[in-house]
Structures are given as C-alpha cells and as structure tokens.
Amino acid sequence: TIFSLYINIPTINNKDEISLYVDDDDKVVIISGEYKNINIVEGNHCIKKLIPTGRFETKIPLPSRIDPTKKVKIEKVDAISLFKITFTKGEGYKKRRLSIE
C-alpha cells in the first residue's frame, strides 16, 4: 500500500526545504526547492565547482497512482542530504500540493 523513493539533494539539510507536488494523473511526483550557494575558500584558484546552485525541479514517474490526501513522509537517511520519501498508493485525484509529515 506504500512505496518509497530515495533522492540525494545536495546542500539541502532539512525536509522543510523540499516542496512536493503530484501531477494531474497522480503518477508523477514533482520535487522542487533551491540549492544553497556554498562559498569555497581555498589558497588556490578553483578551476571547477561541481556543486549545483539555484532553483531545481525534478519530475519522477511513479509505478502507480498515489493518494495526495495522505501525508507524505520524508526522512533524512544520513548526513549527505539523502532523503527517503514515502507515498501512500491511491486512486485518481486532481493536481495539488502534497502535505509533508
């Protein structure tokens, strides 16, 4: 009756920094937020910084519909910004913002 999604979101440390939406057919989850800018101070010049910054939005197709009336559970799995997002399967509903537990 539930399924889980694991996602690594660099520079995000708190579930409150993540917004979740579901599309019209309740089978695509939209995860959005904003990567923080990290200032790296080193003695040498930085040739390339591979840390994302700015707004992000990612769409993830799901294997079945979810129930957007149920709260979505987000847990931080470890210290490297890895989150586990747990959804409740459900019937069809219209697009709306998901409540986070």
pLDDT tens profile 21-75: 988 788 899 999 998 877 766 666 666 666 778 899 999 998 888 888 888 899 8
- Tell me if 31 is assigned to some domain: yes
- Tell me if 98 is assigned to some domain: no
pTM over 0.85: no
Q: What is the pLDDT of residue 49?
A: 65
- Tell me if 13 is assigned to some domain: yes
Q: Which residues contact 5 (CB under 8 A, 6 or more apart)?
A: 29, 60, 84, 85, 86, 87
Supply the CATH number for residue 77's domain: 2.60.40.790
Q: What is the pLDDT of residue 78?
A: 78
Q: What is the pLDDT of residue 58?
A: 92
Residue that wins the pLDDT comparison between 2 and 32: 32
